[in-house]
Copies of this chain bind each other. A is one copy, B any other.
C-alpha cells in the first residue's frame, strides 16, 4: 500500500504536462488573437472565419465571444464600466488557460477600454497576444445594426451602449487593423491568418 504522502517526489507528481508538450502534440503553437471593435464591426464573423480556415489546416482553435460567455461565465455581470472591466478580466483569464491548453484562442469582444485590453495582453508573454482592431465607422456599424441594438440605444432603451453613450477607445498598438468597412471579409480573414503565419505560429520545424 503506497500512500500519496510517501510519493511526493514520485514520477506522477513531476509528470506535469506543459503548454509546450501540448503544442508539440498539436504540431503548432498556441496564442490569443483578440478582436476588438464596435458592435457590428465584424469581430465574431471574422473570428469564426479565421477559425474555420485554421481548422481546415488541422490547427486547434476556439472562439470566445459574448455568445458563449455572457450566458455562462459572466452571466452575473451587467454592462456598466465596472462590469465590462470584470467581464474582460475573466475572459482574459479563460483565454490564457485555453492558450495553455494548446489552442489558438480567437476572442471577439467589443472590449472598449484600452486598459482592459492591455490587462489581457500583460497576462501572457510577448508574442502570445495579437490584438486585431476591426475598424468600421460608427455610421457604418449603425447602418448595419445586425442585432437592432443601435436603434434601441438611440431610443434610450439600452444604456451604456458603446459608441452611443459609452466610449470606445481606439487601439494604439494593435498588431493588425482590419478595415471591415472597405475590405471584403475573405481579404480580412486572409490578412489575419497572414499575421499568425508571419509570426511562425504554425511552422512545423521550429
Judge whether A32 is part of the interface by a CB distance below 8 angstroms: no
Instruction: List B contacts of A175 (CB < 8 A).
Output: none
Instruction: List B contacts of A7 (CB < 8 A).
Output: 45, 185
- Complex CA gap A2/B179 in Å reads 12
Query: In the complex, how many residues of chain A place their beta carbon closer than 8 angstroms to a beta carbon of chain B?
Result: 58
A1 to chain B, nearest CB (A): 6
Pair A101/B62 contact, Cβ less than 8 Å: yes
Pair B144/A25 contact, Cβ less than 8 Å: no
Residue from the list B13, B90, B146 in contact with A90, Cβ < 8 A: B90
Interface stretch among A15-23, A148-156, A193-201? A15-23
- Complex CA gap A26/B146 in Å reads 35
Instruction: List B contacts of A17 (CB < 8 A).
Output: 48, 51-52, 55, 61, 63
